[in-house]
Structure 1
């Protein structure tokens, strides 16, 4: 399944401003995104290149309970919050969402219809995209969802940098390295995602993990009871961040020097 990239990770949160404040204390830039007026949710964002963390909260509970359009992310938000501020699903980016959907349906996945998404950002600008969810799970592990933005990556990066959406982190250079999932059976989970999404398997690890490459990043599956996304690992040149980690609710953010990737 060609031309799939890691786009963002969803972290459910009760208070977006608390997330922004904690990131700021760590030297990381985060800011209010906007409102999803069809779904009753709102977000805050932190960009690391085109990859970003989306802190997603419920802004209008009544609308979230009866959204204008069904959306698994909104369903997940109500299941998680307020008691479980944890990572939700990971988003994959494509420039051929129709083709991706057709191939997933052929493989037996319960791919949703493609729907249009939109939100107003803090400057009052309309941000639009198309998205597709995958219903169900594999042994309790929720599937990723897919997103297609209205502009090519190069144009989006240029525009978002010029407008200050993508901006430097005071701590220094920070890039996403890997997304970690705790699952009951790492090898089976990795094999299933490889089959569905055509990711490239990495060499077997001696520490009871399994990993798949997605471009220059990787998905790592380790044994545990959560059956979900548990940790984001970033590479950084920041002396203040290297070797450190912190949590927001049940989600962990870990920072390693650039040269340590192969030691994970």
Structure 2
């Protein structure tokens, strides 16, 4: 069972008319999550990506975020009152059932794995399974976990034309309880801790800040020489 960073979600109100400033990132139309009332655009670096998300039907979303969907990314939008910015992290695995067993062995409750899908503009249906940690004691939006319906090799072949010569090298997270945060990530996700950084293989560094809230603060993208910018509530840093 492996665990890798898959994507980060950035909520933008008015996504259908959005262009990334100075066209620093290529953005491609993703599709619609019909059952959730959301749609997305995607910016790939490799198999990992930034997901820009918006809502086409808030009433549908509100009705959908019950039961297994109460921990979904769509429910996060509702809980944060549609405030723009960074929302959630997602990690991918090659064995979501084994990951579920691991979380249960850690004393955690889970929701899933549950089957999901979306329809691309060309009519192709993309499917995946999702898993959530169900812990009411947490005061942050926890990462969630995905297993795609196709192997990485097949997805790489299909998506390679969309890849940019860029890499997300750092994701900065703020927490009110640094020690507990580190303990959770090392126990649950097998992360390694080094200084103020949490490390998961084949992904960005997760830099921890201690502060007055639980949040995703910023990402750093390598391969672009440009000053830092704030885009619809989300901070982007760049390095050449």
Q: Is the 8 A contact 1:80 1:86 kept in 2?
A: no
Q: Considering only aligned residues, what root-mean-square deviation do their CA atoms show, in Å? A: 1.9
Give the C-alpha shift of residue 143 in structure 1: 1.5
- Work out which of the residue numbers 12, 17, 40 in structure 2 matches 1:43: 40
Matched, 1:62 2:59: yes
- Residue 174 of structure 2 is aligned to residue 182 of structure 1: yes
TM-score (ref. length: structure 2): 0.90
Structure 1's unaligned 5+ residue stretches are: 205-209, 258-264
SS at match of 2:51: strand
Q: Tell me by how many angstroms 1:228 deviates.
A: 1.5
For residues 190-249 of structure 1, give each alpha carbon's deviation from its aligned partner in whole angstroms, at most 9, with x where no partner exists.
2221111111122x2xxxxx211111322111112230111111111x33x3xx211123
What is the aligned counterpart of 1:212 among 187, 190, 198?
198
Distance across 2 between alignment mates of 1:79 and 1:45: 23
Distance in 2 of aligned mates of 1:178 and 1:136: 26
Partner of 1:194: 186
Q: 5 Å matches for 1:1-264? A: 2-19=1-18, 21-23=19-21, 25-67=22-64, 70-71=68-69, 72=71, 73-82=73-82, 84-136=83-135, 140-161=139-160, 164=161, 166-168=162-164, 173-202=165-194, 204=195, 210-216=196-202, 217-236=204-223, 238-239=224-225, 241=226, 244-257=227-240
Aligned partner of residue 76 in structure 2, secondary structure: helix
CA contact (8 A) 2:68 2:112 kept: no
How many residues in Structure 1 have an aligned counterpart in Structure 2? 236
Deviation at 1:28?
A: 1.1
Given that 1:180 and 1:230 are in contact with CA atoms closer than 8 Å, whether structure 2 keeps it comes out as yes
The answer as to whether partners of 1:32 and 1:43 remain within 8 angstroms in 2 is yes
Q: Tell me, which stretches of 5 or more residues in structure 2 are unaligned? A: none
Task: Check the 8 A contact 1:13/1:81 in 2, yes or no.
Answer: no
Give the Å deviation of 1:81.
Answer: 4.2
Which deviates the most, 97-106 or 149-158?
Answer: 149-158
Question: What corresponds to 1:262 in structure 2?
Answer: none
Q: Do 1:34 and 1:119's aligned partners in 2 also have CA atoms closer than 8 Å?
A: yes
Q: Quick one: distance in 2 between partners of 1:147 and 1:167? A: 20
Per the alignment, in what secondary structure is the counterpart of residue 64 of structure 2? coil
